[in-house]
Amino acid sequence: MKILGIESSCDETAASVVEDGRRVLSNVVASQAEVHALYGGVVPEIASRAHCEALTGVVKEALEKAECTLKDIDAIAVTYAPGLIGALLTGLSFAKGLSFSCGKPIVPVHHIRGHVAANYIAHPDLKPPFIALVVSGGHTSLLKVDDYTSYTSIGQTRDDAAGEAFDKAARMLGLPYPGGAAMDRLAAVGNKNAMKFTISHVDNCPYDFSFSGLKTAVINQVHTLQQKGIELTEEFKADLAASFTETLVKSICLRVDALYSEVGSIPLVLAGGVAANSHLRAGLKTLAESKGVPLYLPPLSLCGDNAAMIASQGYFEYLSGSVADLKLNAFATKTV
Ligand code: KG4
Ligand code: ZN
């Protein structure tokens, strides 16, 4: 079964054709990052307009690269939540138009489920149940994936997402948006013990995250120097990136460690844009090895937003009977 996936929840316009949920026939991503970098973050209205301009070409290219036409497609999977509402609506409206014109069913896909599904593509043996740690620009969640379309939330961020904290820290250090990957490289050459940041705890919710305190601590460090008229040296920037990353990774690993004391050796699956972070990957590898937990990491090419992950999850949603009609709406927030 061939599914055409469409993704437009933030600043990537993406389309892909995936066969039987795991075989990628094409995967086209048009990133708007360069446009938003001018403003230091995603500007929703600009994102929506850029999606409108890109969608037709991106979908056409995905079909061509997969060497198929709409006739060969069995269903159209589209991200309908969560994300920027205007951005979501562009992809959803496009999918509805296609569905109406060619008579193919629409399958709504939750963006976070999509991120998790990137691992079904990369790891053909991976099957639920497992624990998923989703870390992206908009989300940080620990989830129990009971089945392909059945999720239980274990913990989530109370404020900023991990990627948001990375991007903000990067901005304070003068790195362009989105700064996560640059922070990753900078942290590798810094001293992770140079600065002490506090690891947050959320009372009575051991698996919930909080990164706004860490973000504010970074802002304060930089402002303090700036107010004294001291220029940020390359060494300071690298040390700050390393210390920030160390605290963030520890904060995540502590929660995963605590969770695994309860859940045994059920596999652990990492997903989302921040899953590309080399320090987080290394921290989780060490943890998983020490606990004897099978760990599944997505390839870097499938960590960020893409439509192959949406088409993959769309396949499993379709098999479970989740087909929408043209009344389907988009939602900025929605539980997984
Ligand atoms: O999953 P994603 O593409 O979009 C959302 O669904 O939010 O994640 C984007 C986020 C950005 O915050 C970006 O800075 C971050 O992922 N990111 C990284 C790395 N690569 C991307 N953060 C830390 N280290 C990286 N190597
Ligand atoms: Zn995402």
* Mutation pick for ligand 1 pocket among 109, 157, 166 (CB with most ligand atoms within 8 Å): 166
Cα–Cα distance measured from residue 25 to residue 64, given in angstroms and rounded to the nearest whole number: 10
Q: From first to last of the 336 residues of the chain, give the pLDDT tens digit.
A: 999 999 999 999 999 999 999 999 999 999 999 999 999 999 999 999 999 999 999 999 999 999 999 999 999 999 999 999 999 999 999 999 999 999 999 999 999 999 999 999 999 999 999 999 999 999 999 999 999 999 999 999 999 999 999 999 999 999 999 999 999 999 999 999 999 999 999 999 999 999 999 999 999 999 999 999 999 999 999 999 999 999 999 999 999 999 999 999 999 999 999 999 999 999 999 999 999 999 999 999 999 999 999 999 999 999 999 999 999 999 999 999
Check residue 128 and give its pLDDT: 98
Q: Structure tokens of 252? A: 């995540």
Ligand 2 mean position to 230 CA, how many Å? Answer: 37
Beta partners for 151?
Answer: 145
Nearest to 66 by CA among 105, 27, 96: 27
Per residue in 206-216, pLDDT (tens digit) is: 999 999 999 99
Give the closest residue (by CA) to ligand 1 atom 14: 180
In Å, how far from its chain's centre is CA 75? 24
305 CB near ligand 1 (under 6 Å) = yes
> Does the beta carbon of 271 sit less than 6 angstroms from any atom of ligand 1?
no
CATH number of 2-117+302-319: 3.30.420.40
The whole-number pLDDT of residue 181 equals 98
pLDDT at 317: 98
pLDDT at 278: 98
2-117+302-319 and 129-298 share one CATH topology?
yes
Report which protein residue has its CA nearest ligand 1's atom 20. 181
What are the extents of the domains in the chain? 2-117+302-319, 129-298
Strands 140-147 and 150-156: antiparallel
What Å distances lie between residue 60 and 15, 52, 57, 99, CA to CA? Answer: 9, 14, 5, 15
**CA 9 – ligand 1 centroid, Å:** 14
11 Cβ inside 6 Å of ligand 1 = no
User: How is domain 129-298 classified at the CATH fold level?
Assistant: Nucleotidyltransferase; domain 5 (3.30.420)
Can you tell me which atom of ligand 1 is nearest the CA of 164? 12
**Which residue, among 275, 267, 266, 263, has the nearest Cα to 309 in the 3D structure?**
275
The rounded distance, in Å, linking the Cα atoms of 329 and 236 is 47
The ligand 1 atom nearest the CA atom of 162: 12
Q: Which atom of ligand 1 is nearest to the CA of 305?
A: 3
pLDDT digits (tens, 9 = 90+) for 184-199: 999 999 999 999 999 9
Could you tell me the maximum CA-CA distance found in the chain, to the nearest angstrom? 65
